[in-house]
């Protein structure tokens, strides 16, 4: 991996010099501006923030950025995260002053452009998912999950059914699923997967009952496989009086191919930062809209975006729909992210979105085909947008683990895939190429993987000690956790008055 | 499709390698009965058409008005350097730094964010970010329950109503309870937390209290008796959560100074565009003693195998991907880019610039108070404020609408923000910041004066002050 800056960058605080860069961004405040405040409420000493001129600031961040790898840098096949290219026109769109400068409490009549965009996005996502209605409020996929499971809870309670205390989750699920069930007050029941990677219908049949509130299924699964027994599973879930939640993290495989609501799922979330290409930003922001079938519409969080008979749009008022589970966060949602998602959907149309999924699935199958032989492919059937490979045979032969393979990929100029997830595959790698990577990139990655497999046989230490060319070597994570250093403390001890 | 690279020939080569004639063969796992026939969506747009469409939609938002809207979301000076640095693709298009060797840029910037917010709040530990102020406050309240093993939280009505509503949603799910601490209706401290009620609520032996949550400044803009609230909470064995506005911490006492155990808030004022509600930045900060309870990611400084300083995600055993159903929270994707934006903004302004932002806002707000009082809209409350306050306007909703027709966003009618509270029914909540101009203040005052009917002789117009 090429790095042009000095790998070791001083912190902002170390670059600071008293008096540097002060006083040019805005006029000095009137000296008496704060005299009317009671002294007890005032800060005794100002915060010890760094003092930098702009050139120093710019070099700090530009040099730091060069220690980072993004989709704009190169291939980033991080399974389950859909690291596709993020079109720049979407960034332009979100920054249009009409969208960016709009205050969230602006009266509806002054916010018609954004409200119409949000309403159209609700319609588009409902069409894509086959759901009857969509809320755009959740700030990320995990908050979407919580929203959905809280609606499940409200649905059962509204029917006078308080006995449903369990949420069934396959053992291959994202960790957010069981964590969500706990936050919503449910007990998680983990269900093992079948040998073919799909749901084990018998295990579900055994666990389903009058205490089951919902089943959470990721489809395609975290193994990259379409859940072939989905129809039977949904019938069983509904026959037991429970609801079916679909984790939509992997929707990128299914656009125009499978509509979860039409197939019988009751509720699902979207990860717009995955499927609809909004930038991942080093860990967010995303947005996690939730789609529901009609029987869950009364419980959607508020506010929804409504279209009036005269064609104008408005936000639902607090308390207007008393059956709502309430708010999940302030205001309407991560609207700036939703603007990007809307732009992406409009750029594609129905045929374009279908092609996105076709190309994503084609690329994943092609890459799987190229790696087969050098790596164990535990599920040989056609995959969806991602697939699992395993270094288990390489490890048995050479001691080189998946972690080592991942680190060696860094030397070869690629971001590693997701590793050791799902937890159900030994030495697993979840590889998701996405539809925006060219054939030459896919081939170059495949060649690098094959070369690492050879290196593992011939020079295993080279692989075990990787990365060799990254800005830093492997890290001491144990000390970081045992003796946490979570903030800079300047020699002066900081400026707060405590 | 718009952004893909494949030529027909390349698709053909991949299909040939797989030994199939059509990509349809790869979707055969989808049972026929649930295979979608296609989507009914508006037709695809070229980039040119898309830009025209979005420009037209954006133009229908009235962002040209003189705005005095605040209530948790504030306009501030945005140095162009902030967005230009933020747009570096290496930051912008990375994800969670799972591979620290090629994520030192993201990791160091988040460590610096944690450090900057620790300086502002005086707290020891700051999480890498949460969704927004409302979710952050709910998570802070849940922390108090985990830490004290109690199940009841008191939240002051000084806290933004959206935060309280979010609280309610989160708490219902967690089978925990909370109660609202009322605000004083009369007297010199009207509009601030009713300490006597708080004391009585804390004394209920049937309901041991895990945490007390109050906001500084309050949603009404008022300065709250935070030290007293904290003392009462601690005396009852409860933790104290301060909901703070980060820019105000340039000049107001930080939560550590009044002994808060947890600070929460929204980082939007640190240079983020209002964008009709997000993306913003949820802040959660706490004392060292609560570090095992804090939800969300933490970045720590450590060393690599050669002893070089480096950064890594740490204390991961609290998180959902490790701990699953026993995690501190389900949060995964957070608001990392917003934390980066906040850091660059703070570093671009520095301590002097940040002080000037807060103090200039306070000065402009005082000018606004005087201008509105002269126009016939005196303050609703007597207590101190920083840069936001409520004025009394009879039939505030109607007047607000009429002033809007004159090109002014006259703040927020409290009858809409806090419906059902008779003490606030005639309130308009208004704010000023360093970007509010004297000319805008003059236009607002003139518009308001024109709309407020002259008071009939003999009726005192300043009954409150």
**Structure confidence by residue, pLDDT tens digits, B33-76:** 999 999 999 999 999 999 999 999 999 999 999 999 999 999 99
CA count, 13 A, side-chain hemisphere, B108: 27
Specify whether A197 is located in the same domain as A295.
Answer: yes
Instruction: Compute the average pLDDT of residues B215-239.
Output: 98
Looking at CA atoms only, how far is residue A443 from chain B in angstroms? 11
HEC sequence for B67-124? ECCCCCCCCCCCCHHHHHHHCCHHHHCCCCCCCHHHEHHHHHHHHHHHHHHHHHHCCC
- Average pLDDT over chain B, rounded to whole? 95
pLDDT in tens, chain A (498 residues): 544 456 689 999 999 999 998 767 999 999 999 999 999 999 999 999 999 999 999 999 999 999 999 999 999 999 999 999 999 999 999 999 999 999 999 999 999 999 999 999 999 999 999 999 999 999 999 999 999 999 999 999 999 999 999 999 999 899 999 999 999 999 999 999 999 999 999 999 999 999 999 999 999 999 999 999 999 999 999 999 999 999 999 999 999 999 999 999 999 999 999 999 999 999 999 999 999 999 999 999 999 999 999 999 999 998 899 999 999 999 999 999 999 999 999 999 999 999 999 999 999 999 999 999 999 999 999 999 999 999 999 999 999 999 999 999 999 999 999 999 988 899 999 999 999 999 999 999 999 999 999 999 999 999 999 999 999 999 999 989 999 999 999 754 433 332
Instruction: Measure the CA–CA gap between B118 and B347, rounded to whole angstroms.
Output: 14
pLDDT number for residue B149? 97
Residue A207 burial by Cβ neighbours in a 10 Å radius (0-12, 13-18, 19+): middle
Of B61, B126, B336, the CB nearest to A284: B336
> Are B255 and B368 contained in the same domain?
no
For chain A, what is the domain count? 2
Is B250 in the same domain as B268? yes
Last residue in a domain, options B344, B364, B394: B344
Same domain, A249 and A361: no
Interface-testing mutation among A33, A89, A330, A363, with chain B (most B C-beta atoms within 10 A)? A330
Looking at the fold, whether B357 and B433 belong to one and the same domain comes out as yes
Range of the domain at A211: 89-346
What was the pLDDT predicted at B461? 40
Would you say A181 and A188 are in contact if contact means Cβ atoms under 8 Å apart? yes
Residue B326's pLDDT band, with cuts at 50, 70 and 90, is confident
Looking at the complex, report in whole angstroms how far the Cα of residue A440 sits from the nearest Cα belonging to chain B: 10
> Same structural domain for residues B340 and B357?
no
Domain closes at, from A313, A346, A379? A346
**For residue range B375-430, what is the model confidence (pLDDT) as tens digits?**
999 999 999 999 999 999 999 999 999 999 999 999 999 999 999 999 999 999 99
Q: Is the peptide bond before B279 cis (omega within 30 degrees of 0)?
A: yes
Q: Which whole-number Å values give the CA distances from A408 to A405, A419, B358, in the listed order?
A: 5, 13, 49
Domain at A100, CATH number: 3.40.640.10
- Identify which of B50, B131, B253 has the shortest CB distance to residue A497: B253
pLDDT digits (tens, 9 = 90+) for A390-430: 999 999 999 999 999 999 999 999 999 999 998 889 999 99
Residue B7 lies in a domain: no
pLDDT band at residue B353 using 50, 70 and 90 as cut-offs: very high
Res A23: pLDDT = 67
Q: Which of A453, A452, A460, A403 is nearest to A427 (CA)?
A: A403
Q: What is d(CA A258, CA B37) in angstroms, rounded to the nearest whole number? A: 8
B360: containing domain: 349-451
Instruction: State the distance between the two ends of chain A, measured CA to CA, in whole angstroms.
Output: 45
The pLDDT assigned to A6 comes to 63
How much is the pLDDT for A85?
Answer: 97
Residue B91 lies in a domain: yes
Cis-peptide into B131, omega within 30 deg: no
* B43 close to B53: Cβ distance less than 8 angstroms: no
ω before A285 within 30° of 0 (cis)? yes
b/e code A415-426 from CB counts within 10 Å (16+ = b)? bbbbbbbbebbe
Q: Inter-chain contact A29–B355, Cβ cutoff 8 Å?
A: yes
Chain A residues with beta carbon closer than 8 angstroms to that of B409:
103, 106-107, 110
Residues A293 and A360 in one domain: no
What CATH number is given to the structural domain containing A368?
A: 3.90.1150.10
Contact indicator for A145, A178 with CB cutoff of 8 Å: no
In a domain, A47, yes or no: no
| B140: its two tokens | 């802070």
Nearest to B277 among A335, A362, A435 (CB): A335
pLDDT at B465: 32
> How confident is the model over B251-282, as pLDDT tens digits?
999 999 999 999 999 999 999 999 999 999 99
* pLDDT greater at residue B175 or residue A459: A459
Please tell me whether residues A321 and A231 are part of one structural domain: yes
Handedness of CA A127, A130, A131, A135 (dihedral sign): negative
Clarify whether residues B327 and B384 are in a common domain.
no
Instruction: Identify the domain boundary among A299, A327, A346.
Output: A346
CA distance B82 to chain A (A): 9
Q: How many CA atoms lie within 13 A of A281 on its CB side?
A: 29
Q: CA nearest A299 in B: which residue? A: B169
Residue A280's CB is within 10 A of a number of other CB atoms, namely: 28
Same domain, B248 and B358: no
Would you call the peptide bond into A220 cis, given omega within 30 degrees of 0 as the criterion?
yes
Model-wide pTM > 0.90? yes
């Amino acid at each position: 991996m090429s790095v042009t800056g000095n790998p070791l960058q001083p912190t902002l605080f170390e670059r600071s010099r008293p008096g540097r860069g002060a006083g040019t961004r805005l006029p000095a405040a009137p000296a008496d501006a704060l005299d009317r405040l009671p002294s007890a409420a005032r800060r005794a000493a100002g915060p010890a923030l760094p003092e930098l001129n702009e050139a120093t600031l710019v070099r700090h961040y530009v040099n730091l950025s060069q220690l980072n790898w993004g989709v704009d840098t190169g291939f980033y096949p991080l399974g389950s995260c859909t690291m596709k290219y993020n079109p720049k026109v979407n960034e332009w769109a979100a920054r249009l002053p009409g969208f960016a400068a709009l205050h969230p409490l602006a009266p509806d009549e002054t916010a018609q452009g954004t409200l119409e965009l949000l309403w159209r996005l609700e319609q588009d996502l409902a069409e894509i998912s086959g759901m009857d209605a969509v809320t755009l409020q959740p700030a990320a996929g995990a908050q979407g999950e919580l929203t959905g499971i809280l609606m499940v809870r409200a649905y059962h309670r509204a029917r006078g059914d308080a006995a449903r205390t369990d949420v069934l989750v396959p053992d291959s699920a994202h960790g957010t699923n069981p964590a969500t069930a706990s936050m919503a007050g449910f007990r998680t029941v983990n269900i093992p997967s079948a040998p073919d990677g799909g749901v084990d219908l018998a295990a579900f049949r055994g666990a389903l009952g009058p205490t089951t509130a919902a089943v959470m299924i990721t489809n395609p699964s975290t193994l990259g496989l379409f859940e072939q027994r989905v129809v039977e599973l949904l019938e069983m879930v509904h026959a037991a009086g429970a609801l079916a939640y679909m984790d939509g993290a992997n929707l990128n495989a299914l656009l125009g191919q499978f509509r979860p609501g039409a197939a019988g799922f009751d509720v699902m979330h979207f990860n717009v930062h995955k499927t609809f290409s909004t930038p991942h930003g080093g860990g967010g922001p995303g947005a996690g809209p939730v789609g529901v079938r009609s029987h869950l519409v009364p419980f959607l969080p508020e506010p929804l975006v409504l279209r009036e008979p005269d064609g104008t749009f408005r936000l639902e008022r607090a308390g207007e729909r008393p059956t709502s589970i309430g708010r999940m966060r302030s205001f309407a949602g991560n609207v700036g992210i939703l603007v990007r998602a809307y732009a992406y959907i409009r750029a594609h149309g129905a045929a374009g979105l279908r092609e996105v999924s076709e190309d994503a699935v084609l690329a994943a199958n092609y890459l799987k085909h190229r790696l087969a032989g050098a790596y164990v492919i535990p599920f040989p059937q056609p995959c969806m947008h991602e697939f699992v490979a395993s270094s288990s045979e390489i490890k048995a032969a050479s001691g080189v683990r998946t972690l080592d393979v991942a680190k060696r990929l860094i030397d070869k100029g690629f971001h590693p895939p997701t590793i050791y997830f799902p937890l159900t595959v030994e030495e697993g790698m979840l590889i998701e190429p996405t539809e925006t990577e060219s054939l030459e990139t896919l081939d170059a990655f495949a060649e690098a993987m094959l070369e690492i497999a050879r290196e593992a046989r011939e020079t295993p230490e080279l692989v075990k000690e990787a990365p060799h060319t990254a800005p830093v070597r492997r890290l001491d994570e144990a000390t970081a956790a045992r003796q946490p250093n979570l903030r800079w403390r300047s020699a002066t001890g900081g400026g707060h008055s405590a | 499709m718009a952004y893909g690279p494949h030529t027909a020939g390349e698709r053909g080569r991949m299909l040939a390698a797989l030994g199939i004639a059509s990509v349809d063969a790869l979707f055969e796992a989808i049972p026929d009965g649930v295979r979608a026939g296609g989507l009914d969506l508006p037709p695809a747009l070229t980039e040119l058409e898309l830009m025209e469409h979005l420009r037209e939609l954006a133009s229908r938002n009235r962002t040209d008005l003189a705005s005095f809207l605040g209530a948790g979301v504030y306009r501030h000076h945005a140095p162009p350097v902030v967005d230009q640095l933020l747009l570096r693709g290496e930051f912008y298009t990375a994800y969670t730094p799972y591979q620290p060797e090629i994520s030192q840029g993201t990791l160091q910037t988040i460590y610096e964010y944690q450090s900057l917010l620790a300086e502002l709040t005086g707290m020891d530990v700051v999480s890498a970010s949460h969704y927004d102020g409302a979710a952050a406050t709910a998570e802070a309240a849940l922390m108090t329950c985990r830490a004290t093993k109690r199940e009841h939280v008191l939240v002051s009505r000084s806290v933004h109503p959206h935060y309280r509503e979010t609280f309610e949603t989160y708490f219902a799910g967690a089978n925990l309870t909370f109660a609202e601490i009322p605000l004083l209706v009369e007297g010199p401290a009207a509009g601030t937390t009713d300490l006597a009620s708080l004391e009585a609520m804390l004394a209920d032996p049937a309901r041991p209290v895990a945490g007390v949550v109050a906001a500084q400044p309050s949603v009404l803009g008022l300065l709250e008796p935070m030290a007293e609230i904290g003392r009462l909470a601690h005396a009852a064995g409860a933790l104290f959560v301060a909901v703070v506005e980060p820019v105000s911490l340039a000049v107001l006492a930080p939560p550590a100074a009044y002994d808060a155990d947890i600070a929460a808030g929204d980082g939007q004022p640190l240079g983020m565009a209002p964008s009709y509600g997000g993306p913003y930045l949820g802040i959660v900060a706490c004392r060292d003693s609560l570090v095992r309870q804090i939800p969300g990611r933490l970045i720590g400084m450590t060393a690599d195998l050669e002893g070089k300083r480096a950064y890594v995600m740490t204390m991961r055993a609290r998180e959902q991907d490790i701990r699953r159903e026993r995690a501190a929270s389900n949060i995964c994707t957070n608001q990392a880019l917003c934390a980066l934006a906040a850091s660059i903004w703070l570093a671009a302004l520095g301590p002097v610039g940040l002080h000037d932002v807060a103090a200039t806002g306070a000065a402009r707000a005082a000018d606004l108070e005087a201008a509105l009082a002269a126009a016939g809209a005196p303050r609703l409350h007597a207590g101190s404020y920083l840069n936001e306050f409520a004025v009394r306007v009879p039939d505030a909703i109607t007047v607000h609408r009429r002033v809007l027709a004159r090109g002014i966003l006259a703040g927020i009618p409290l009858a809409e923000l806090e419906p059902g509270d008779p003490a606030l029914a005639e309130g308009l909540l208004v704010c000023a910041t360093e970007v509010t101009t004297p000319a805008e203040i003059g236009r607002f005052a003139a518009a308001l004066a024109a709309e407020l009917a002259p008071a009939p002789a003999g009726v005192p117009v300043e009954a409150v002050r």
